[in-house]
Structure 1
Amino acid sequence: MHSTTLQADNRAEVAAALAQDRLIVACLCAAWCGTCSSYRAAFEELAMRHPEKYFLWVDIEDHADLVGDLDVENFPTLLIQRHETVAFFGTMLPDPNVANRLISTIAATDDAELLRLAGSTAERRDWQAQCNLRRLMHA
């Protein structure tokens, strides 16, 4: 499976996919960003390496109503979530091997440990409150 690109006409489909029991890997980018354009192929490669996970590409300007309040400081920014737990939110080096290691590590972490980590720092607690894609899709 390849990644899905969030569009105005597929929000219901994306919301349904986010509700499934899969690790969500979202890339938050912008169409004008050259780094994002070149990272797109790497993100597709990651999606093919991890077909059991849900990969979502979100243009933060096209979907500012959904992600406009997220603090995206640089590109590409990854948001990785399992169920209601945001496991990672931040800028990623545009190297698919770095992202692959992060995704694999999070995938191998059990739910209880992810939940513990989610509350372990103020930054991670903020992720839970502000970066939950499932909640943002239904807001």
Structure 2
Amino acid sequence: MPSITLQPENQHQLAQRMKDDVWVVACLCAAWCDVCTSYRPGFDELSAQHPDKLFVWIDIEDSADLVGDFDVENFPTLLIQRGDDVMFYGTTIPDHRIAHRLIASHVDKTESELKLQTQSSIEHKEWQLERNLRKALIQG
């Protein structure tokens, strides 16, 4: 199954699907970005490999009204979140195998390890406030 492209029509449905135990992997890109265009098939392949997770493709320019001001330094930027806990937010090498390893490194952690990680640094604490996709979609 390919990733879901965030659009105004599915914003609230996606927010509802982001329950406490659902892992969300979002790729923030832009339509004009050639790197993003070439990365999308691999991202969709990851989605097919992980049917238990919600994969979302977000064009940060087209969806700015929906997600707010997510600061993206470069493309592709990945967000990995479970419920309201943001586990990873950052630029990654455009290789879906790297994303696969990032996902695996988080889903293999215990609940207490995940909670500890959300508070492990100033950056991680900021992610909880500023990069929570579910909250952004509910408010948008």
Q: TM-score, normalised by structure 1?
A: 0.95
Unaligned runs of 5+ in 1: none
Question: Aligned pair 1:10/2:10, yes or no?
Answer: yes
Name 2:136's counterpart in structure 1.
136
Amino acid at match of 1:90: G
CA distance in structure 2 between the partners assigned to 1:103 and 1:46 by the alignment:
10
Question: What SS does the aligned partner of 1:19 have?
Answer: coil
After superposition, the CA RMSD in angstroms is 1.2
Percent of residue pairs bearing the same amino acid type: 50
Distance 2:2 2:111 in 1: 25
Q: Which amino acid aligns with 2:46?
A: L
User: Matches of 1:116 and 1:101 in 2, distance apart?
Assistant: 20
Query: Are the aligned partners of 1:2 and 1:51 in contact in 2 as well (CA < 8 Å)?
Result: no
Alignment of 1:58-69 (within 5 A): 58-69=58-69
Give the length in aligned residue pairs. 139
What SS does the aligned partner of 2:88 have? strand
Contact residue 77 and residue 89 of structure 2 kept, 8 A:
yes
Deviations 1:63-88 (A, max 9, x none): 11233421100000000001111000
**Alignment partner, residue 41 of structure 1:** 41
Query: In the alignment, which residue of structure 2 is the partner of 1:113?
Result: 113
For the residues of structure 1 that align with 2:20 and 2:48, how far apart are their CA atoms? 18
